[in-house]
A and B are shown apart, each in its own frame.
Chain A
């Protein structure tokens, strides 16, 4: 091992050309291993990724789950280094106002290569692996404008339904981070989070300011009986930002109000 360490600089020069050939391969399994090797051996050589960038984005869907994780990590690193920060048009009205004018300039400065990455990364939203979804959230937080995040959050919420301890903690931490950064848009989706997850409430409570949204407290058994009903019914989800605290609970659903009162009496999860 020590002898290998002394050979490392010379060895690197010999290995990098082979790595370059592998990075331009078209087979997803090979590319994911090549990206892992790139990350390990020469992460400073972002120039090696210029040519295969688009093919890596396209093959993202076809890689296996662990390969997707590596690829997303590497792509985040590459984009942070080599792209300008993406900005969006200031308001939708501005974008629409110029629609009928000739020669209107596109106010968004989204690089087309970045758009390709967003488009192909979104296809991973329905992945079975929770690690991939969490990595996706991280990717979109790091390198996408904030408007992309609302499309990702429902998948993150879907993961919170998995009853496994090992997946719940990172999922809830990610939800907390997302909610703390963007409480306005995420509040709409947090309603569908299983509210009886006490760790979730604790984490969210810690990251939320006192006058911001708090998820309503309902009993878990109610959710079992509620299973047949549609959770994403838009009439149930109402913007709660103008209301505060206890006024949120149970306005639209009497059973929920009763349960909330019971919960409130028991003072659990505090």
Chain B
């Protein structure tokens, strides 16, 4: 069962995750969905990333590019989510990117993104 078959089947993964089942073997197929325009799927991929990025740092770094592109999306929710997942991924290599992202987002027009930037500062400092 790969998520590519049907986007709705992908919704089973967070259910399995929340029950504690190990779904890390599906990492590559899940990450491929990160560029999906659908907001729900994006959110679920980010949840998956936040859970398994520490154990697979190399594969997580492959998705950083797409996340950085989402930081300049038109939708404020997409921008905020991207900043949130970037600051939540505990890979030391991207800390510089996160700081740049925070600096860009503190002057964002949307209050939601600015609020996420404030919380990202706390997460970044830890």
Contacts and interface: CB of A to CB of B under 8 A. Distances in A.
Interface of A: 1, 3-4, 7-8, 11-12, 14-15, 17-19, 21-22, 25, 27, 29-30, 33-34, 36-37, 40-41
Nearest to A27: B111
Interface in B77-117: 90, 92, 95, 99, 102-103, 106-107, 111, 114-115, 117
Q: Which 8 A-B pairs have the closest CB atoms?
A: A33-B118, A3-B92, A27-B111, A37-B121, A18-B106, A34-B118, A30-B114, A21-B106
Contact of B125 (A25, A29, A41): A41
B119 A4 contact: no
Nearest to B119: A33
Given A19-B118, A36-B122, A37-B118, 19 more contacts: A1-B90, A4-B95, A7-B92, A8-B125, A12-B125, A14-B103, A15-B121, A15-B124, A18-B102, A18-B103, A22-B117, A22-B121, A25-B114, A33-B118, A34-B118, A37-B121, A37-B122, A37-B125, A41-B121
A1 B124 CA distance: 10
A29 B115 contact: yes
A11 B114 CA distance: 19
B80 to A, nearest CB: 12
B114 A15 contact: no
A141 B103 CA distance: 38
Contacts of B117: 18, 22
